[in-house]
Amino acid sequence: MLAGLDGVPRVVVSGNFATPWQVLRVLDAALAEYHLFALNAQPGIPDRTGVTLESAFVGPGMRKSDRLRYLPCRLSLVPSLLATALPPDVVVIHTSLPAGGTVSLGVEVNVLPAAIAAVRARGGLVVAQLNRHMPYTYGDAVLGEDEIDLALEVDEPLPSPWARPISDAHESIGERVAALVPDAATLQLGIGGVPDAVLGQLRGRRRLAVWSEMFSDGVLGLEQAGALDADRPITASFAFGSAELYAWLDRNPRVRMLRTEKTNDPGLISRRAAMVSVNGALQVDLFAQANAARVHGVIYSGFGGQTDFVVGALHSPGGRAIIALPSWHPKANVSTVVPRLAGPVTSFQHSYIVSEQGTAIIWGSDASNQAGQLVDRVAHPSARDELRQAGRALGFRI
């Protein structure tokens, strides 16, 4: 087996809810020491002495590990990272069963085509977990059988994320965000209470399109409601959700799964008609900057695709970049609107920032007006006086 510059091999593995667990267990038993790169790794990822965890988007399987190397990187540039600074020696993928000389990467295309190209350039290995439960999806998901060096066939249903209840705050945010989405818009949303609430409010729209790094059951709900434009494909790079969603994806010509370099390219995003990007944040500050990556200075997730889609949406004709978040963090019992972010900024210069309290119009407003709207329309009432005082100390006329 090849090895990196430090003499330790690097393994890139499918992340999210497409992790090839059985092959990963075999590999972990065979290698005493290796680097393991995955995006949004779920619980159960090997985390032991000898394994160095690597990610540009940290999931719950790596989040609290002392062995984590977080690599700040826009999702659109992770393929370049794998081709240069982090060349893989082994790529482990989770695919459909073979059909017509091909397999499909199914619900997880993401950075895997780039990883496969990088490992081929090094003479490394591509190992596949073949699974009849993996949907056969089209686009860049399709891979020739001859691209696979070793394979293990399994029979395991794909996991689904925990169902997240939609709170009253999420419902209110969903209504406010949906009011900013016109008919025939192109959507990018993630997963969670806020995106689910937004998508639920959009079922009455018509001729919507989806161009997103990922999607879940909310998009299936739009399709069933007749809200999506039948002439525009549902385009994404990965997906996860219910068993119903996975069944719907299987050999569905409406869905096109593309590699990250395409879905997250701000230039391609900007060409979508009325691109509406909806992303969450952990905090926003009075400078209208968003933190979606760190909690108390410790990495929580990473840039992800937020930076790609904020820029792409702002350059789209009629596009809008929206940050949506509750005004109060219930677990930490603190305001999510702060005077100034204490750590790195994930994104900035958005069109709107929305909470259950209201909507701040960011684009086209001067800096003091932005800050004033964030205090009066987005922040929790109990935090407004303190924020206003802090804003004045920062030089805002509020």
Average pLDDT score, the chain: 96
Shared domain for 132 and 195, answered yes or no, is no
If pLDDT is split at 50, 70 and 90, which confidence band does 266 have?
Answer: very high
Same domain, 209 and 128: no
Q: Is residue 23 part of a domain?
A: yes
pLDDT tens-place string over residues 176-218: 999 999 999 999 998 788 998 999 999 999 999 999 999 999 9
pLDDT digits (tens, 9 = 90+) for 339-366: 999 989 999 999 999 999 999 999 999 9
Active-site annotation, residues? 213
pLDDT band at 270 (very low <50, low <70, confident <90, very high): very high
CATH number at residue 57: 3.40.1080.10
Tell me if 5 is assigned to some domain: no
State the DSSP H helix or E strand holding residue 93, giving kind and residue range, or none if neither: strand 90-95
Q: Are residues 101 and 242 in the same domain?
A: no
DSSP state of 208: B
| 260 in the same domain as 137 | no
Judgement on whether residues 198 and 222 belong to the same structural domain of the protein: yes
pLDDT (average), residues 283-307: 94
For residues 271 and 333, state if they share a domain. yes
Q: pLDDT tens digit string along 15-55?
A: 999 999 999 999 999 999 999 999 999 999 999 999 999 99
The CA distance from 55 to 282, in Å, is 20
Residues 172 and 148 reside in one and the same domain: no
DSSP symbol at 377: I
> Are residues 91 and 216 located together in one domain of the fold?
no
Q: Are 137 and 234 in contact (CB under 8 A)?
A: no
Mean pLDDT of 56-77: 97
Non-local (6+) Cβ contacts of 191 within 8 A are 161, 214, 216, 240, 241
> Residues 354, 57, 353, CA angle at the centre, nearest 5°?
10
**Average pLDDT, stretch 108-116?**
98
Of 105, 125, 154, the domain-final residue: 154
3-state DSSP call for residue 369?
helix
What is the mean predicted confidence (pLDDT) over 299-322? 96
pLDDT for 362: 98
- Which residue, of 132, 154, 176, is where some domain finishes? 154
For residues 238 and 264, state if they share a domain: yes
Number of domains in the chain: 2
For the cut 90, the answer to whether the pLDDT of residue 4 exceeds it is no
**Is residue 159 included in any domain, yes or no?**
no
Domain residues for the domain of 329 are 168-393
pLDDT at 7 over 70: yes
Do 238 and 181 reside in the same domain of the chain? yes
| CATH assignment of the domain containing 234 | 3.40.1080.20
Domain identity same for 380 and 303:
yes
Residue 398 falls inside a structural domain: no
Q: How far is CA 222 from the centre of its chain?
A: 20
